[in-house]
Amino acid sequence: MSDDTPDSLIPYDEIVQEALRAVVGRVLGEIEQGGSELPGNHHFYITFKTGAAGVSIPSHLRERFPDEMTIVLQNKFWDLEVREDGFSVGLSFNQVPAKLSVPFAAITAFVDPAVDFGLQFQATVPDMEPESHDDAENDGSDGSGDAGPKGADDGSNVVTVDFGRKK
């Protein structure tokens, strides 16, 4: 490809992003259909834009994570419900239960560290640069010392799609 490659009239980047988000939906849907039991050592880190349209989280979490938040689906979660456009789940934060509803379009990363698999997405909230943030540290950890997604920094098995959209 060269610098004089014409802009595509087909939105390939949007089509690919949508397809990869469907992977997240399928995985979560299979977990829901299996009684919300995660097989083996599988667990998920899901990062999403808290300010994206359709995101519903308690106000105290929105104050703490005004831009982006990472949740962990591992040991303590309930009422996982997967819809065509997103999912909702119950989680505990500092022993306080909370219900979160997240559209797939708000997700910026999905990682399953048990198998070193991850997907990263372009943010769909226009012109929002991610700010550094702490992981949400919901009460799902088993205390094994997992502080964050393994392999997220080294790029192993992480699919990043960026077609260099012109602004």
Q: Dump pLDDT digits (tens) for 31-44.
A: 999 888 899 999 99
d(CA 93, CA 69): 13
* Bridge partners, 99 (sequence order): 90
CB neighbours of residue 54 within 10 Å: 12
Residues 8-16 have a mean pLDDT of: 89
3-class secondary-structure state, position 68: strand
Residues 63-71 have a mean pLDDT of: 94
d(CA 148, CA 137): 10
Residue 146: which pLDDT band, with cuts at 50, 70 and 90?
Answer: very low
* Cβ 114 vs Cβ 41: under 8 Å: yes
